[in-house]
């Protein structure tokens, strides 16, 4: 079976999803999990886009050893230089340069003639090749480009040194039949195509990203790009877990395989969902809550008699087990640390101390501590930025009654160490807490989005809250989990504020040339 490279762009295109704002530590956590998942290439970000992105890409490239780390760059020297500075410490550095090739983009966005576009692309690839061993070049909006122009520019960029040619369906417009023909045409007509790998990068605006990726593979693509859970710009990207599982389950139809460790899929999906705040729909293929649930009596009866009657994928294949109770109140630090490792978390001493304390606290409140609960504790935000001055929730109380206006009293430590206390009201308990926090926090705060979920099942399930705020005009997202909904809400709000403080702090004290 032929191998298809998996190029994961969860940390770049995925992070471009509206409302997603991962910090450096979260990106690193996801990168380590992607490495365990077995991706061949991970796109860690867009180094020239911001100082924060530069630093995150650099840290990931310097840390990850099991796969190639790449970063996005526009076709100019400044972006390519920034990418090199961020990626040069990587195990197998590569750059991803893009330039639009469709008439609509060349005319209205780039305002360049096709000849100028060819010249810019060739210059950029040549410049990048002086630094990078691997140069990937993307023809942005390839699927709405003229085929003969594509053939022409691809030949030139391969001559200039590109070894991967990516043909994105940037706006999710194409169909399986059309994208197949495009890949076939390029394969048959670019004279030096044997010196490059063809790659597909499909968006899901018409819900065809996965089918289009599979059609591209059947017509010559040997690299597929996508994200975990299909997150990404607008309607998202092709869901990598769906492509990998489709190739595995339909081996009778497809003669290709990826190197993904399928058992790591569920854990990767959970981590990405939790850290980005993008919930996986219950009916989502492969990783949705209901993907393996059989509701109708006829189906249940069939599955009990013979699972293959209605189950084409086994939950175990993608790493879903019964979420058994793993640790109890008598479990010690060592067992906790080992379990954390099994769940994919390497804990330093401070994090271990805090996470273990949260675990012990939880064993006193909850009958069963499940893998989901442990995952929540281990991705909790309260120990982030240990050395940084930050807001900390000391205590709060809410008075609620169906005929009274809810009132919250909050005691908070400010970044300068002073303790402050106030009370305020709201239409509901969460609003009362947020109004009070607004009074206590020295910034202009606006709540833009609020999401509440339960982690696991049962009355004693943990609550998880994701919020989006603007803090002094800057977008910020935050998350918090606790057994109580109101406490989780307060933590999420404070977490969003602390993130912007942290960014300010790093920008003030760290100087990196980009």
Q: Which residues bind ligand KIV (CB under 6 A)?
A: 13, 72, 98, 138, 140, 166, 168, 170, 201, 203
CA distances, 510 to each of 51, 86, 129, 502, 506 (Å): 10, 15, 30, 12, 6
Instruction: Find the residue with minimal CB distance to Zn ion.
Output: 13
Cα Rg, the chain, nearest whole Å: 25
Q: How far apart are CA 359 and CA 464, in angstroms?
A: 16
Structure tokens at 203: 């968006």
Comparing CB distances to ligand KIV, the nearer of 103 and 315 is 103
Beta strands across the sheet bearing 474-482: 445-455, 462-471, 474-482
Comparing CB distances to ligand KIV, the nearer of 166 and 358 is 166
Report the nearest approach of Zn ion to the CB of residue 2 (Å): 24
Report the nearest approach of ligand KIV to the CB of residue 216 (Å): 14
Comparing CB distances to ligand KIV, the nearer of 138 and 498 is 138
Q: Which does 140 bind (CB under 5 to 8 A by kind): Zn ion, ligand KIV, none?
A: ligand KIV
Structure tokens at 190: 């670019």
Q: Which does 98 bind (CB under 5 to 8 A by kind): ligand KIV, Zn ion, none?
A: ligand KIV
Alpha-helix residue ranges (DSSP H) falling in 235-368: 240-249, 265-276, 297-305, 333-342, 349-363
Beta strand 474-482 with 462-471 is antiparallel
Report the nearest approach of ligand KIV to the CB of residue 72 (Å): 6
Say if residues 89 and 62 touch (Cβ distance below 8 Å): yes
Structure tokens at 157: 């960029």
Report the nearest approach of Zn ion to the CB of residue 81 (Å): 23
Comparing CB distances to ligand KIV, the nearer of 164 and 376 is 164
Report the nearest approach of ligand KIV to the CB of residue 268 (Å): 20
Closest by Cα among 37, 117, 453, 135 to 277: 453
Structure tokens at 106: 């060349």
Bridge partner residues of 471 (DSSP) = 445, 474
Q: How far apart are CA 74 and CA 124, in angstroms?
A: 9
Report the nearest approach of Zn ion to the CB of residue 48 (Å): 17
CB neighbours of residue 221 within 10 Å: 28
Q: Which does 55 bind (CB under 5 to 8 A by kind): ligand KIV, Zn ion, none?
A: none
Comparing CB distances to ligand KIV, the nearer of 105 and 274 is 105
Report the nearest approach of Zn ion to the CB of residue 203 (Å): 6
CA dihedral 370→374→375→380, nearest 10 degrees, is 140
Q: How far apart are CA 224 and CA 404, in angstroms?
A: 57
Comparing CB distances to ligand KIV, the nearer of 14 and 90 is 14
Number of residues engaging Zn ion in binding (CB under 5 A): 1
Q: Which does 138 bind (CB under 5 to 8 A by kind): ligand KIV, Zn ion, none?
A: ligand KIV
The stretch among 7-15, 24-32, 301-309, 486-494 that binds Zn ion (CB under 5 A) is 7-15
Comparing CB distances to ligand KIV, the nearer of 114 and 389 is 114
Structure tokens at 202: 């499909």
Comparing CB distances to ligand KIV, the nearer of 201 and 284 is 201
Comparing CB distances to ligand KIV, the nearer of 201 and 466 is 201
Q: How far apart are CA 56 and CA 430, in angstroms?
A: 33
Report the nearest approach of ligand KIV to the CB of residue 140 (Å): 4
The stretch among 8-16, 275-283, 439-447, 453-461 that binds Zn ion (CB under 5 A) is 8-16
Q: Is 13 in the site for Zn ion (CB under 5 A)?
A: yes
Q: How far apart are CA 502 and CA 281, in angstroms?
A: 32
Report the nearest approach of Zn ion to the CB of residue 23 (Å): 22
The stretch among 9-17, 387-395, 435-443, 456-464 that binds Zn ion (CB under 5 A) is 9-17
Say if residues 169 and 193 touch (Cβ distance below 8 Å): no
Give residues in contact with Zn ion (CB under 5 A): 13
């Amino acid at each position: 079976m032929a191998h298809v490279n998996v190029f994961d762009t969860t940390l770049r295109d995925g992070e471009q999803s509206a409302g997603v704002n991962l910090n450096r530590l979260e990106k690193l956590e996801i990168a380590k999990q992607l490495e365990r998942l077995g991706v061949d290439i991970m796109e860690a970000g867009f180094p020239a886009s911001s100082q924060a992105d530069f630093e995150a890409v650099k840290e990931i490239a310097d840390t990850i050893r099991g796969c190639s780390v790449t970063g996005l760059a526009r076709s100019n020297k400044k972006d390519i230089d920034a990418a090199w500075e961020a990626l040069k410490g990587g195990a197998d550095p590569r750059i991803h340069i893009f330039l639009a090739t469709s008439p609509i983009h060349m005319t209205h966005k780039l305002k360049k003639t096709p000849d100028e576009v060819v010249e810019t692309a060739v210059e950029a690839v040549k410049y990048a090749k002086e630094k990078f061993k691997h140069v990937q070049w993307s023809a942005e909006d390839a699927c709405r480009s003229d085929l003969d122009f594509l053939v022409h520019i691809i030949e030139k960029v391969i001559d200039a040194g590109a070894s991967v040619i990516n043909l994105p369906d940037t706006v999710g417009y194409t169909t399986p039949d059309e994208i197949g023909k495009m890949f076939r045409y390029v394969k048959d007509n670019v004279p030096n195509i044997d010196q490059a790998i063809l790659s597909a990068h499909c968006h899901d605006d018409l819900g065809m990203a996965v089918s289009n990726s599979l059609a591209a593979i059947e017509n010559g693509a040997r690299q597929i790009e996508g994200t975990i859970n299909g997150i990404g710009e607008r309607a998202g990207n092709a869901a990598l877990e769906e492509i990998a599982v489709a190739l595995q389950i339909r081996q009778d139809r497809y003669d290709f395989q990826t190197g993904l460790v399928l058992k790591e899929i569920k854990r990767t999906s959970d981590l990405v969902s939790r850290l980005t705040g993008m919930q996986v729909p219950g009916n989502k293929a492969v990783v949705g809550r209901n993907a393996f649930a059989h509701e109708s009596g006829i189906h249940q009866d069939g599955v009990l008699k013979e699972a293959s009657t209605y189950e084409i994928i086994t939950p175990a294949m993608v790493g879903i087990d019964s979420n058994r109770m793993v640790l109890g109140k008598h479990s010690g630090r060592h067992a906790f640390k080992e379990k954390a490792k099994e769940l994919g978390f390497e804990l330093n001493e401070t994090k271990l101390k805090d996470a273990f304390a949260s675990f012990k606290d939880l064993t006193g409140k909850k009958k069963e501590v499940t893998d989901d609960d442990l995952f929540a504790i281990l991705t909790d935000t309260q120990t982030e930025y240990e050395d940084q001055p930050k807001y900390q929730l000391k205590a709060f109380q809410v008075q609620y009654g169906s005929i009274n206006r809810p009132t919250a009293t909050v005691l908070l430590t400010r970044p300068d160490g002073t303790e402050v206390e106030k009370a305020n009201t709201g239409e509901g308990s969460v609003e009362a807490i947020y109004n009070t926090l607004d009074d206590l926090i020295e910034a202009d705060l606006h709540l833009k989005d609020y999401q509440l979920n339960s982690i696991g099942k049962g009355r004693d399930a943990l609550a998880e809250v994701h919020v989006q705020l603007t803090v002094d005009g800057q977008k910020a997202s935050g998350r918090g989990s606790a057994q109580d909904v109101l406490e989780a809400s307060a933590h999420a709000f404070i977490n969003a504020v602390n993130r912007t403080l942290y960014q300010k702090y790093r920008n003030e004290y760290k100087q990196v040339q980009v």
